[in-house]
A = this chain, B = another copy of it.
Amino acid sequence: MDTIVKGKAVEVVIGYDRPTVLIGERINPSGKKKLAQALRDGDLDQVRKEAVNQVAAGADILDVNVVTSGVDEVAMLPKAVAAILEVVDVPLCLDVNDPAALPAALKLIPGKAVINSVTGEEKSLTTVLPLVKEYGAAVVGLTMDEKGIPKDAATRFAIAERIVSRADALGIPANDIIMDCLCMSVGADDRAAVATLDAVEMVRQRLGVNQTLGASNISFGLPDRELINHVFLGAAIRAGVTCPTVDAAKVRPTVLALDLVMGRDRFARRFLTDYRARSAA
């Protein structure tokens, strides 16, 4: 099924058998001291710059996260969104800690945003889903609940099913849900990636909803992270991830090659166009 999200001037369609959609992950102060400090200083130039760079690098949607110590998320999110809307036209994915930050930001966005995220926790379901409905947004569902992230695929799938069913009860269609089966590091648990990939495959086969994944966690604590991230992204996309959350600058050539071998790039046009641009650069 197709999920449609809209920015100021750009509509993005996410679906199986379509080119993979990239959600740019870089507007996030976690682990980025400079961006964290800029947000504390109320300086949004960094945010504008990351937005422009990610879109130039091929991000189709931008994830926006302003959660860091010393920053009032509820006050900051609308400011960051306003700054981003000044410089790019793509749809936004509002990645919040506190759902109270959402309404003011959602009101600023012309189009259809993605709310990131709802979990299987009762509190999250009852707080976030009504906002999804009210603003006609799409929503990222995380396969975790009060007990954390299940180790096995079947329990993650059960949470995914619950999110879809609770959304349905509020009149939110399944194609407005983007599932995130979550991944942990294979450095800590060598079966971690298998659990994620199996959950992704179950969600694709039984629920059919679109799926994202912040695939870079997979290599946390290991060397040669980019190699691991790239091969995992390939396995995840083959399993059913349609809109991974990634650094577009790092993974776009890999994703275009994947789309090519998965028959989603008619006449290899996107791959060749990107290759020529990279060669000319």
- Are B261 and A193 in contact, with the CB atoms below 8 A? yes
The number of residues on chain A lying at the interface, defined by a beta carbon within 8 Å of a beta carbon of chain B, is 36
- Are A268 and B222 in contact, with the CB atoms below 8 A? yes
Q: Chain B residue with minimal CB distance to A198?
A: B263
Asked if A168 is at the interface (CB within 8 A of a chain B CB), the reply is: no
Asked if A38 is at the interface (CB within 8 A of a chain B CB), the reply is: no
Q: Indicate the member of A218, A261, A262 with the most B CB atoms within 10 Å.
A: A261
Knowing A235-B234, A235-B262, A261-B186, say if A272 contacts B191 (CB, 8 Å). Answer: no
- Are B227 and A253 in contact, with the CB atoms below 8 A? yes
CA of A235 to CA of B222, assembled, Å: 22
Instruction: Say what secondary structure dominates the interface of chain A.
Output: helix
Q: Chain B residue with minimal CB distance to A188?
A: B268
CA of A268 to CA of B186, assembled, Å: 8
A105 to chain B, nearest CB (A): 35
Asked if A148 is at the interface (CB within 8 A of a chain B CB), the reply is: no
Asked if A8 is at the interface (CB within 8 A of a chain B CB), the reply is: no
Asked if A266 is at the interface (CB within 8 A of a chain B CB), the reply is: yes
**8 A Cβ contacts from A246-278 to B:** 253-254, 257-258, 260-263, 265-268, 271-272, 275
Asked if A187 is at the interface (CB within 8 A of a chain B CB), the reply is: yes
- Are B261 and A224 in contact, with the CB atoms below 8 A? no
Q: Indicate the member of A227, A266, A272, A279 with the most B CB atoms within 10 Å.
A: A227
- Are A261 and B222 in contact, with the CB atoms below 8 A? no
- Are B235 and A258 in contact, with the CB atoms below 8 A? yes
A3 to chain B, nearest CB (A): 22
Asked if A100 is at the interface (CB within 8 A of a chain B CB), the reply is: no
CA of A267 to CA of B186, assembled, Å: 8
Give the contacting residue for A187; candidates B230, B262, B268; CB below 8 A: B268
The interface bits of chain A over 228-243 (1 if a CB of B lies within 8 angstroms of the residue's CB, else 0) are: 1011101100110000
CA of A190 to CA of B271, assembled, Å: 11
Asked if A223 is at the interface (CB within 8 A of a chain B CB), the reply is: yes
**Shortest beta-carbon contacts, A-B, top 3:** A234-B234, A194-B263, A193-B261
Write 18 A-B pairs (CB below 8 A) sorted by A numbering: A187-B268, A190-B260, A190-B265, A193-B260, A193-B262, A222-B268, A222-B271, A222-B272, A223-B272, A227-B253, A228-B260, A228-B261, A231-B254, A232-B257, A234-B234, A234-B238, A235-B261, A235-B262
